[in-house]
Amino acid sequence: MALIGDIKGKRIYLDAHIIIYIVEEPVPLSAGQLALFKAIDDGSITAVTSELSLAECLVYPLTANDPRLASAYEQFLGNSAGLEVIPIDREVLVVAAHVRALTKLKLPDAIHVATATKAGATNLLTSDKRIKAPSSLTINYWSSL
C-alpha cells in the first residue's frame, strides 16, 4: 500500500490487463488494489487509459458471445468518473513508433506507453512484466499492490 501514498495526486495509466481485473474481478482484490480503486473513486489519483483498451478488452466477451460483459466494458471505458479515456491520434502513433524503435515492444504495448506519456501519467500500472517505458514513466505491477 506504500505505492498508493507515492502516487496520490498523480495521473496513473491503467493498461488493458488492469481494466480486465477491475471489470471482471477474476480473483479477490488485495488491500492495495482496493486502496487504489478507493483513491481513484475519491479523486486523489487520476486514472487514464487509451481507447485501445476497449478493443483489447472486448475480444473475450465477443468471442464468448457475452453481451453483458461487453456492455460492462463499454460502460466502464465511456469516460466514467475517475477514468479518462485518451483517444489514439497521430501524435500517439508517432510516439508509439519511437517507443517501438527503442524498446522492440509490440505495437499495442507501445501505444499504451505513448498514450500514458501524452496524458502526462507518472506511473503505468500493468501486469505485463515485458512492458518497457521511458525513464519519465514509472512501471508498477498489479501484483505488487
Tens digits of per-residue pLDDT, 29-81?
Answer: 888 888 888 898 888 899 999 999 999 999 999 999 999 999 999 999 996 77
Q: Rounded to two decimals, what is the model's pTM?
A: 0.91
* Tally of CB atoms within 10 A around 137: 16
Fold entry, domain 2-144: Rossmann fold (3.40.50)
Take residue 63 and report the three cell numbers written for it. 468471442
**Contact predicate 45/8, CB 8 Å:** yes
| Count of other CB atoms within 10 angstroms of residue 36 | 26
Strands (E), the chain: 11-14, 46-50, 83-86, 123-126, 138-141
User: 86 — phi, psi (to 5°)?
Assistant: -95, 130
Domain boundaries, the chain: 2-144
- Cell numbers 505488487 correspond to 144
